[in-house]
Amino acid sequence: MKRFIKKLRSAWYTFVAKRSLGKSDGSFKANGYTKLTKKTVLGNNVNFNGLIIYGNGKCTIGNNFHSGFGCKILTSYHNYEGKAIPYDKTLITKDVVIEDNVWFGINVTILSGVTLGEGCIVQAGSVVVSDIPKYGIAGGHPAKIFSFRDEKRYETLKKQGKFL
């Protein structure tokens, strides 16, 4: 019975996410509340456990993406250099790009204008304010790179099609 309820819940979250989605090139699944935007573009085999995208910018998510619950992506922010304090009524919008095979832990926040390179990992609770290169493993607030995946092992697994 628990397995049935879990599948039913996942089907519901996926349905809700699809209604808010712009474009998907393949399959995706949402196991937790997921809200995308019409400017969201998804690759194949994308898995959300709860992610919300805010803002007016484009968000591109590559193949084999996985997220923990409570994740957020912001593609717009208030103009603090505008005509009022603390900010004016205009929004600054910058796209977010997430390349293939990226993994977010729980409660990760990605700020606008960030590109996450192929195969990178973002540690739980991190706030990403700048780009993370290919294979980078980053964490903290602001997120800093503290390690890299083993490139040879990564490329071998990729060639073998070993995707979760």
- List the domains of the chain with CATH numbers: 2-159 (2.160.10.10)
Average pLDDT over residues 38-51: 95
Average pLDDT over residues 62-66: 96
Phi first, then psi: give them for residue 148, nearest 5 degrees. -135, 150
Q: How confident is the model at residue 30 (pLDDT cuts 50, 70, 90)?
A: very high
- What is the pLDDT, as a whole number, of residue 19? 86
Average pLDDT, rounded, for the chain: 94
Please state the pTM of the whole predicted model. Answer: 0.93
Cβ contact 58:72 at 8 Å? no
**DSSP-assigned letter for residue 69:** T
Residues with active-site annotation: 78
**CA distance readout (Å), 38 to 5, 17, 25, 53:** 29, 11, 14, 10
Q: How confident is the model at residue 1 (pLDDT cuts 50, 70, 90)?
A: confident
